[in-house]
Amino acid sequence: MAERVAVAMSGGVDSSVAAALLLEQGCEVVGLTMQMWPREAEEEIPPGLRGCCGLEAVDSAKRVARTLGIRHYVINLREPFERLVIDPFCDEYLNGRTPNPCIRCNTFVKFGPLLRRAREIDAEKLATGHYARVGYEEGSGRWALRRGVDTGKDQSYSLYGLTQDQLARALFPLGEMRKAETRAQATRLGLSTAERPDSQEICFVSGSGYREYLRKRRPEVTRPGAIVDREGRQVGRHRGIAFYTIGQREGLRVAQGEPLYVVGIDVAGNRLIVGGAGEVRSRGLVVGEVNYVAVAALPEGGSKLRAKIRSGGRLAGCVARVEDGGVKLEFARAQRAISPGQAAVCYQGEAVALGGIIESAL
């Protein structure tokens, strides 16, 4: 009997090809599409700019499922998406931090309630169109998450939060492919998504940007306050701390003898702290909410790894050590704009060793 696999079909080219490839491999494929945007997001984002999981994406996924001749179900996950992704996204900005909602969506929604739905229909695995690789390592007795072959599209960073149980149920059919190959396969298969553009980075935020989204969801973010230097001297006024992130220069509207950047956010005092370019760099950071992936723990003396501190960032050499319940990363070279709320993901070779949420720069 063919293995039953559920595919999270977002209506884009990647998940469409993932479903088609599994079908060609002899799997019994069932398409699941999450409907999770709040209704106001559906109305605000113009047609053609809507990414995954909205009504337009649902229609696109249905067309692909018909082409492939597979069963397809739409799963209403608006409530968990609101509670587990959107609310924390807004709260983090109010707390002076810079969140990554895609990570929370992957960990707590796709491989949370969607995976549970897949299990309810007796699917052995949940496949997605992510560019990453997963496999069981006999030596360590652990499931490993490795970077995708297409390093320009690699999405292992945004999947670091998956637990061993989740990885055991995960399939990433595009992990060994490059994006150009994916589109070529979609054309070969006659899929309507072959030329569909990639979804925007934050799928539920309209073209007007996250600042306008926050204004509507959390009106209190517009409370202005002081911009101060390291000595506490006021040098300007800000429009609300949620509109700024560490390392930002644009929008400060502060005239000084040198370019100034956000180097700190004082939430209690509703203040931005600014400094020169050199003050934006740091040789270390502390992460919390740590998830161990390829390794079960760090050795007592620490481990030499490579880390990314933002989705589009480069890998940088570091030493990772356990400290006060979290993990401290010390970099060989100072890193720019380490932002609390973002994820720091450490790699051992091509495999994700561990990851966590940045609590502070050192």
**Tens digits of per-residue pLDDT, 12-30?**
999 999 999 999 999 999 9
| Per-residue model confidence (pLDDT) at position 44 | 54
| Per-residue model confidence (pLDDT) at position 222 | 87
Q: Which residue has the tokens 């970099």?
A: 331
3-state secondary structure of 193: coil
Residue 203 phi, psi (nearest 5): -65, -30
One-letter identity of residue 263: V
| Per-residue model confidence (pLDDT) at position 325 | 80
Concerning whether 90 is annotated as a catalytic residue, the answer is no
Mean pLDDT of 68-90: 96
Which candidate in 52, 53, 203, 318 is catalytic?
A: 203
CA 258 vs CA 170, 234, 302, 337, 340: distances in Å: 50, 16, 39, 18, 25
At residue 50 the predicted structure's pLDDT band, cuts being 50, 70 and 90, is very low
| Per-residue model confidence (pLDDT) at position 53 | 58
- Tell me, yes or no, if the pTM score tops 0.95: no
Mean pLDDT of 167-185: 97
Q: Which helix (H) or strand (E) holds 217?
A: helix 210-217
| Per-residue model confidence (pLDDT) at position 162 | 98
Mean pLDDT of 181-209: 86
Which candidate in 27, 105, 318, 346 is catalytic?
A: 105
Q: CA 134, CA 132: separation in Å to the nearest integer? A: 7
**Tens digits of per-residue pLDDT, 136-150?**
999 999 999 999 999
| Per-residue model confidence (pLDDT) at position 41 | 52
Residue 350 phi, psi (nearest 5): -90, -5
On whether the CB atoms of residues 179 and 194 are closer than 8 A, the answer is no
| Per-residue model confidence (pLDDT) at position 56 | 81
Q: Which domains does the chain have, with CATH numbers?
A: 4-129+173-189 (3.40.50.620), 223-275 (2.30.30.280), 282-361 (2.40.30.10)
User: Exposure pattern of 170-191 as b/e (b: 16+ CB <10 Å)?
Assistant: bbbbbbebbbeebbebbeebeb
| Per-residue model confidence (pLDDT) at position 64 | 97
User: Is the per-residue pLDDT at 265 higher than 80?
Assistant: yes
CB neighbourhood size of 39 (10 A):
9
Q: What percent of the chain has pLDDT over 90?
A: 84
At residue 200 the predicted structure's pLDDT band, cuts being 50, 70 and 90, is low
User: Is the per-residue pLDDT at 11 higher than 90?
Assistant: yes
Mean pLDDT of 78-106: 95
Residues 6+ apart with CB under 8 A from 284: 328, 329, 330, 331, 361, 362
Mean pLDDT of 56-82: 95
Q: CA 115, CA 226: separation in Å to the nearest integer? A: 46
**Average pLDDT of the residues of the chain:** 93
On whether the CB atoms of residues 160 and 116 are closer than 8 A, the answer is no
User: Exposure pattern of 217-230 as b/e (b: 16+ CB <10 Å)?
Assistant: bbeebeeebbbbbe
At residue 218 the predicted structure's pLDDT band, cuts being 50, 70 and 90, is very high
C-alpha triplet 339, 345, 349: angle, nearest 5°: 145
Concerning whether 105 is annotated as a catalytic residue, the answer is yes
Q: Higher model confidence: residue 353 or residue 41?
A: 353
